[in-house]
Structure 1
Amino acid sequence: MSTEEGYETPEPVRFDSKIAVLLRDDLESWQRLNVTAFLVSGLGSARPELVGEPYEDGDGTRYLPMFRQPVLVFEGTKELLMAAHGRALGRGLPLAVFTSDLFATGNDRDNRAAVRAVATAELDLVGIALHGPRNAVDKVLKGARMHP
């Protein structure tokens, strides 16, 4: 612990796992935001242990809990995204996908039907989200760059 102005501050937390989103580099800004939001919701529901406690402000107003660790956002080409998808599946990592077809649907039922209608190798992926051990996620994302 370090001391700062008379207060003890805890050392930074280093997580042994990583939450990451990989987006295709040719998306519009609104698409990047939309895809990221949808993808991380999948991880939060599948991995409840990633979600921390509810927040509360100084007046006692309560807010929803969020992930306990940062979400890192990367970008890459369509080819890199497909390769990362294959590596994530091969490692058995929890994975959420967003395909280009989902931009034309308007509800959860149609979203799931759009993904179900396409074979794994033929998915037109625009984003994936995954969680796993740091080194495994790093290997899956090899070649991706941090989103600007």
Structure 2
Amino acid sequence: MNDATPPVRFDTKIAVLIRDDLATWQRLNATAFLVSGIGTAAPEVIGGPYADADGTGYLPMFRQPVLVLCGGKEMLTAAHRRAVDRGLTMSVFTGDLFATGHDDANRAAVRAVPKDQLDLVGLAVYGPRNPVDKVVKGARMHA
């Protein structure tokens, strides 16, 4: 690993905002689902495949850091509204999804609720740095 390489400043940002009252397993589960949506909707964020020194291949990952933040229910509601207003690429995870068992049921659970009434427990947003920063303004780094 070469630490002499200057850091790259990306023009875009990936941010995940998770509700702060979730159990640890729920935070991790929701985060994994949320970022998978960003990777499929914005393929430019995916880097190249990995390989170790023995030639064992590994899947590609994001080409840039993912900022993981947390906040209360009101914070998620406000961030969701700001992301929608700015037309940013976003994935959502609602409380109902913890009780579903497959993708079709997940989509049906979200589809059944108007956007202003979603029980948001997490969202991931991708876009230009400044608009993403404005969406997650006031959230704190996840510990």
| Coarse TM-score class (shorter-chain normalised) | over 0.9
CA distance in 2, matches of 1:16, 1:39: 21
Q: Give the drift of 1:9.
A: 2.9
Which deviates further from its counterpart, 11-20 or 97-106?
A: 11-20
Deviating 4+ runs (over 6 angstroms)? none
Residue 6 of structure 2 corresponds to residue 19 of structure 1: no
Cross-structure match for 2:130: 135
Cross-structure match for 1:89: 84
1:27-46 to 2 correspondence within 5 Å?
A: 27-46=22-41
Q: Which has the larger radius of gyration?
A: 1
CA distance in 1, matches of 2:101, 2:3: 50
CA distance in 2, matches of 1:34, 1:111: 14
Relative distance call for 1:48 and 1:114 in structure 2 (3 A) is: same
CA distance in 2, matches of 1:43, 1:89: 15
Residue 49 of structure 2 corresponds to residue 48 of structure 1: no
Cross-structure match for 1:118: 113
Percent of aligned positions that are identical = 69
How many residues get paired? 142
CA distance in 2, matches of 1:97, 1:29: 18
TM-score by length of 2: 0.97
CA distance in 2, matches of 1:9, 1:78: 41
CA distance in 2, matches of 1:43, 1:128: 10
CA distance in 1, matches of 2:56, 2:73: 43
| 1:74-131 residue CA offsets vs partner (Å, 9 max, x unmatched) | 0011001000000000000000000000000000000000000001111000000001
Relative distance call for 1:87 and 1:56 in structure 2 (3 A) is: same
Cross-structure match for 1:4: none
Q: Give the drift of 1:8.
A: 8.6
**What SS does the corresponding residue of 1:23 show, helix, strand or coil?**
strand
Q: Give the drift of 1:60.
A: 0.6
Cross-structure match for 1:3: none
TM-score by length of 1: 0.94
- In structure 1, list runs of 5 or more residues that go unmatched: 1-6
Cross-structure match for 2:60: 65
